[in-house]
Amino acid sequence: MDPATRWLAPAWETLPLAARRCRVRNPLNNVVQELSADQHAVLTACEGCSTLDAHAVRVQARLGLGDEALATARNWLAQFANVGLLVPFATLVARFAVPAEIAVPPFAGVFVRTCDRPALLARVLASAVALESRRGCRYRYSILDDSRLVANREANREIVAASGLDAAHVDLSTEPPLLSELRHAFPGQHATLDWLFGASSGDATTYGRPLNLALLITAGQRLLLLDDDASLDVRAPPVADPGLEVSSAGDELFWFPDAAAMERACVALDVDPIAAHLAMLGLPLAAAWSRLCGDAGIPAVLELDAADAWRFAPDARILATQNHVVGDPGSSLFPYHLLSLSRASREALERTPGWAECAFQRRENWRGLFRRRLTPNRPLTLTTLCGLDNSHLLPPTVREHRNEDLLLGDICRRVHPAGWTLDLAFALPHRRDPAKRWLDVGASLPQEPVHFLLDYLDRALATIDSEAPAPRLLRVAAALLDLSEASDARIAECLEQQAADTSSRARFAIAEQLDDSDVSSAWKDALRPWLGSPTLSTDPGALRSRLVAPAHLRELAGRYGRALVVWPELWTWAARRNGATAAR
């Protein structure tokens, strides 16, 4: 047995037979074995996808085994591998079906969301013009203009017309033709259509509205989403690695004292970012795997858990593509991720001149990984450029709340269990105007409704049996509608529990670092004040003061749930319409 072989520990099913006997089944291959209690303890101490030696080290640490017991455990691990209770990584990869021919869905174009920021729109379109001039390429752009002010809409229209790009300005202050057609085709769904696509009322910021419209405009096709505060000027990561990583690990975050230092560290690359996304977006995983891993077929870094195994499926494909971010890393909410940095990010921060000021204030960052990454379960972020394969049913998102991209990505993964995301190994600039700073330690922020929904769905949807996208989406809808019909007392209880869990996890991450002898005293000094942050307080009174109103949460869950119920019909209608238009 090759000692370098990686073996996945799946989610075994166990049936007790007697006081110290059980039957264990591997659901990935239906292998069934009868084990003693000691063998079962050794087997279930395994975790992730590692060599047998690495599994043995984990087993010894978890069970506190002596040398003699460890030798027995090693023999058992070899037996478990031989009979199929542990799964070799190569067997997982072999589950990807090799297509007879590789054909990706048609590309609908680049969709740019903008709202009352003509200067930023002009900047991003100028970068598109420079890209086409430099690379000799030509792409179709659709500018989804959700501006509230008439003057900004007029300015945006003029900017688009003067750009020289193959670009259309879509004024969302008037009802798009697609929405008028939907009202005619679905006369009983006007309230849901208004919630998904209707013009905003008052000062509401409808982040998700243009996304939902783009997903119907492109039903049956691929699309790229570009934010107006990004640009198409490609930058390299500060530390480059040519290998491939397969994991759901968090992003690294590097700091720089100023923009000039950041640009020196993240050098310009002569790359067409749109072509790079399209080269991989929608590919079957069997084809993508050989392109990304080469002949060896082994990724440089491999971190999988039992839940990831099911994404190794015959119909697996690259559902989404992302790239790194340089400049403002995104997020305007509480900086939880700054409180649990990886060792590499923390050490890079402490090498940055004036790092104590940079850490929790300035936002001159690079965010991403050092290499390309195939990820089965990482958040979708629309900070700069993102690709979606909308050839099969993709869900809508909420219309008026922040983190609409995180929710969209989460529901996409639930609807498409064989969908993967590819992170490309380059960055695009993200420059906000005016520049933002991280929220400080004294901030007391209200609970974020979308984060609550994400956590709620994790608990409510541990498993979904159906493999078809539409029934899976309806299962998500049922969970949300069930929540919307709960009592105020029950919803308040759920809200308080989620707020307490969120604060507790952040406080625990801080406490772990304060107790870690490998963490510098300077970083510990920087972390300690955050234990007193009002947003991280677990005091019952402080928690309740931050909670979303149950009525607001009920309305959000109900409206989103009802939208998900009708969405498969809307998407199918739009896909047929798009196909008929293409045929003409």
Number of Cβ within 10 Å of residue 136's Cβ equals 8
186 in helix, strand or coil?
A: coil
pLDDT reported for residue 293: 86
Q: What's the DSSP call for residue 73?
A: H
Whether residues 82 and 128 share a domain: the answer is no
Question: Which helix (H) or strand (E) is 425 found in, with range?
Answer: strand 419-430
Q: What's the DSSP call for residue 167?
A: E
Cα(582)–Cα(108) distance, rounded to whole angstroms?
Answer: 11
pLDDT reported for residue 357: 77
Number of Cβ within 10 Å of residue 460's Cβ equals 15
> At 76, which CATH number?
3.90.930
**Structure tokens, 308:** 């990831």
pLDDT reported for residue 581: 55
pLDDT reported for residue 584: 34
Whether residues 299 and 172 share a domain: the answer is no
Q: What's the DSSP call for residue 535?
A: G
Query: Is 423 within 8 Å of 415 (Cβ atoms)?
Result: no
Residue type, 485: E
Q: Is the pLDDT of residue 296 over 70?
A: no
Residue 118 lies in a domain: yes
Query: Is 236 within 8 Å of 427 (Cβ atoms)?
Result: yes
Residue 31 lies in a domain: yes
**What residues have CB less than 8 Å from 124, skipping those under 6 apart?**
112, 226, 227, 228, 229, 230, 231, 232
Half-sphere exposure of 63 (CA within 13 A, CB side): 23
**Structure tokens, 567:** 């969405």
Please state which of the ranges 151-165, 174-188, 356-370 shows the lowest mean pLDDT.
Answer: 356-370
Whether residues 117 and 151 share a domain: the answer is yes
pLDDT tens, residue by residue, 213-233: 999 999 999 999 999 999 999
Whether residues 17 and 155 share a domain: the answer is no
Number of Cβ within 10 Å of residue 581's Cβ equals 8
Q: How many domains does the chain have?
A: 3
Q: Is the pLDDT of residue 455 over 50?
A: yes
Query: Is 324 within 8 Å of 367 (Cβ atoms)?
Result: yes
End-to-end CA distance of the chain: 59
Residue type, 327: G
Whether residues 220 and 293 share a domain: the answer is no
Whether residues 262 and 399 share a domain: the answer is yes
pLDDT reported for residue 441: 87
Cα(565)–Cα(571) distance, rounded to whole angstroms?
Answer: 11
Whether residues 289 and 435 share a domain: the answer is yes
User: Closest by alpha carbon to 556, among 446, 500, 481?
Assistant: 481
Whether residues 259 and 180 share a domain: the answer is no
Domain-terminating residue out of 94, 121, 142: 94
Number of Cβ within 10 Å of residue 157's Cβ equals 16
Secondary structure string (H, E, C) spanning 344-401: HHHHHHHCCCCHHHHHCCCCCEEEECCCEEEECCCCCCCCCEEEEEECCCCCCCCCCC
Q: Is the pLDDT of residue 583 over 50?
A: no
Residue 464 lies in a domain: no
pLDDT reported for residue 533: 93
Residue 88 lies in a domain: yes
User: Closest by alpha carbon to 229, among 119, 332, 133?
Assistant: 119
**Across residues 339-344, what is the average pLDDT?**
91
pLDDT reported for residue 451: 94
Residue 538 lies in a domain: no
Could you list the beta-strand ranges (E) of 199-280. 221-227, 244-246, 252-255
What residues make up the domain containing 118? 107-227
User: Closest by alpha carbon to 205, among 120, 112, 119, 115?
Assistant: 115
Question: Which helix (H) or strand (E) is 296 found in, with range?
Answer: none
Whether residues 194 and 314 share a domain: the answer is no
pLDDT reported for residue 3: 85
Number of Cβ within 10 Å of residue 545's Cβ equals 13
**Across residues 245-271, what is the average pLDDT?**
93
333 in helix, strand or coil?
A: coil
Question: Cα separations (Å) of 486 from 32, 132, 185, 473, 493?
Answer: 41, 53, 33, 21, 11
Domain-terminating residue out of 167, 199, 227: 227
Query: How far is C-alpha 576 from the chain's CA centre?
Result: 29
Query: Is 448 within 8 Å of 486 (Cβ atoms)?
Result: no
Cα(243)–Cα(252) distance, rounded to whole angstroms?
Answer: 16
Question: Cα separations (Å) of 147 from 119, 446, 521?
Answer: 13, 26, 48
**φ, ψ of residue 420 in degrees (nearest 5):** -120, 160
Whether residues 328 and 416 share a domain: the answer is yes
The alpha carbon dihedral of 100, 102, 108, 110 has a sign of positive
Of 139 and 98, the one with more pLDDT? 139
Cα(360)–Cα(355) distance, rounded to whole angstroms?
Answer: 9
Domain-terminating residue out of 442, 470, 503: 442
Whether residues 141 and 197 share a domain: the answer is yes
Cis peptide before 434 (omega within 30 of 0): yes
Residue 468 lies in a domain: no
Confidence of residue 402 (pLDDT cuts 50, 70, 90): confident
**Structure tokens, 375:** 């990820």
**Structure tokens, 363:** 């936002």
Residue 117 lies in a domain: yes
Please provide the average confidence, as pLDDT, over all residues in the chain. 93
**φ, ψ of residue 470 in degrees (nearest 5):** -60, -50
Whether residues 377 and 259 share a domain: the answer is yes
Q: Is the pLDDT of residue 335 over 90?
A: no
Cα(532)–Cα(526) distance, rounded to whole angstroms?
Answer: 12
pLDDT tens, residue by residue, 466-501: 989 999 999 999 999 999 999 999 999 999 999 999
20 in helix, strand or coil?
A: coil
Cα(374)–Cα(302) distance, rounded to whole angstroms?
Answer: 10
**Structure tokens, 442:** 């004294």
Residue ranges of alpha helices (H) inside 373-487 are 404-415, 449-460, 469-484
Residue type, 221: Q
Cα(189)–Cα(175) distance, rounded to whole angstroms?
Answer: 16
Residue 569 lies in a domain: no
pLDDT reported for residue 570: 97
Place of tokens 């307490």: 500
pLDDT tens, residue by residue, 525-555: 999 999 999 999 999 999 999 999 999 999 9
